C-alpha cells in the first residue's frame, strides 16, 4: 500500500508535568523536542506499519525545519514540497495523561496548488489534515491534491483536527473535498454536522466508533496521548480497526507523537 499525507511537518515541544503549571512560578518538567504535525505523524506511523509513505507540505527553511525533516526522513518517510520561511512549532503540555496545545503553523499554510507535482499523488490513500483546509492557499492545494490522487484510484480521508476551528467556510471546504473517510473526535463530529462519508469517531480511552459500531481501546499505560489519534488513523488506513487501536495504544506509552 502507498499512503500520502498532506499538511504540516512541525516541531513538537512536549512538556510533561507532574502537576499543573503555577502562574508566575516554576514547575519541574520532562521535555522532548521532536518532529510532529498531524499529516507527518500519520505518514510516520503508516511507514512503521509497512506501508510506503510520502509526506507533502511546505516546511520551514530554518533550523526547526531541518530538525523535523531529518527525523521524518529517518523514519523512512519520503518528504516532498518546498522549504521556505520559518517552521511551525507546537508546544504540548501533558499533565495527568491529558494534553493542551499551543500551535504556531509557520509557513505550512502557504503551500500553493501550483507547487504540487502530480506524481506525488500516485497512491492508494490520500490523508489530508483538517488544518490544511482552514486557510488559503493551502486549502486550494489540498483540493488539487485530492483530484490528483483520485485520478489514480485513491480514496481520500480527512481528519477534522479541532472542534474550535470548525466554522461555515471550513464545512464548505470539507464538503467540496467529499472525503470517503472522516476522522473526528465526538465533539468535532457533533460540531461539524451531517456529511455523507464513513465516520471514524475517536473517543480517547473509550476507543473508537466506526460507522456506528463501538470498538474499545486496548489496555495501555498512558504516558502521553499526543498523536494517538494520528497513529490510529494510519493503522486504520493501512490495515483496519485492530491495527489502528494497536498503534494508538503504542503511541500513548511514550513522549512524542511519532513511532
DSSP per residue, 109-151: GG--GGG--GGGG-SSEEEEEGGGGSSTTHHHHHHHHHHHHHT
CA torsion, ordered 198, 203, 206, 210, to nearest 10 deg = 0
Cell of 127: 490523508
- Which three cell numbers, joined as nine digits, stand for 54? 510520502
Grid cell for residue 192: 461539524
Residue 259 lies in a domain: no
Q: Is there a domain that residue 129 lies in?
A: yes
Mean pLDDT of the chain: 93
Domain extent at residue 188? 2-251
Q: Is residue 257 part of a domain?
A: no
Q: Backbone phi, then psi, for 93, in 5-degree steps?
A: -100, 120
Assigned domain for 256 exists:
no
Residue with cell 518532529: 35
pLDDT tens digits, one per residue of 34-57: 899 999 999 999 999 999 999 999
Q: Rounded to the nearest 5°, which phi and psi values hold at 81?
A: 120, 160
DSSP for 207-255, please give it.
-EEETTEEEPPPP---S--TTHHHHHHHHHHHH-HHHHHHHHHHHTTSS
Residue 26 domain-assigned?
yes
CATH of the domain at 94: 3.40.1190.20
Distance in angstroms (rounded) separating the CA atoms of residues 209 and 202: 7
- Judge contact between 41 and 230, C-beta under 8 A: yes
> Domain count of the chain?
1
Query: Is 258 among the domain residues?
Result: no
- DSSP label at 153? T
76 in a structural domain: yes
Q: Coil, strand, or helix at residue 10?
A: strand
Degrees to nearest 5, angle at CA 47 with 91 and 220: 60
Does 202 map to a domain?
yes
Alpha carbons 121 and 143: distance in angstroms, whole number: 12
**Within the chain, which residues score under 50 in pLDDT?**
none
Amino acid at each position: 500500500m502507498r499512503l500520502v499525507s498532506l499538511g504540516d511537518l512541525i516541531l513538537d515541544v512536549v512538556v510533561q508535568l507532574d502537576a499543573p503549571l503555577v502562574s508566575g512560578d516554576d514547575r519541574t518538567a520532562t521535555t522532548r523536542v521532536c518532529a510532529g504535525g498531524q499529516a507527518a505523524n500519520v505518514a510516520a506511523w503508516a511507514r512503521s506499519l509497512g506501508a510506503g509513505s510520502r509526506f507533502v507540505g511546505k516546511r520551514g527553511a530554518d533550523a526547526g525545519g531541518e530538525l523535523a525533516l531529518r527525523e521524518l526522513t529517518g523514519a523512512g518517510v519520503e518528504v516532498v514540497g518546498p522549504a521556505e520561511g520559518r517552521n511551525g512549532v507546537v508546544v504540548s503540555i501533558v499533565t495527568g495523561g491529558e494534553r493542551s496545545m499551543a500551535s504556531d503553523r509557520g509557513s505550512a499554510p502557504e503551500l500553493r496548488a501550483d507547487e504540487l507535482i502530480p506524481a506525488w499523488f500516485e497512491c492508494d490513500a490520500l490523508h489530508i489534515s483538517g488544518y490544511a483546509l482552514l486557510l488559503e492557499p493551502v486549502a486550494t492545494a489540498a483540493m488539487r491534491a485530492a483530484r490528483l490522487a483520485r485520478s489514480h484510484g485513491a480514496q481520500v480521508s480527512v481528519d477534522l483536527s479541532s472542534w474550535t476551528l470548525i466554522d461555515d467556510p471550513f464545512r464548505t471546504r470539507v464538503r467540496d473535498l467529499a472525503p470517503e473517510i472522516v476522522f473526528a473526535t465526538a465533539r468535532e463530529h457533533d460540531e461539524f454536522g451531517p456529511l455523507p462519508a464513513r465516520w471514524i469517531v475517536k473517543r480517547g480511552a473509550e476507543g473508537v466508533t466506526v460507522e456506528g459500531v463501538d470498538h474499545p481501546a486496548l489496555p495501555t499505560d498512558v504516558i502521553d496521548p499526543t498523536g494517538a489519534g494520528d497513529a490510529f488513523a494510519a493503522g486504520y488506513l493501512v490495515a483496519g480497526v485492530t491495527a489502528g487501536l494497536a498503534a494508538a495504544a503504542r503511541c500513548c506509552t511514550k513522549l512524542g507523537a511519532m513511532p
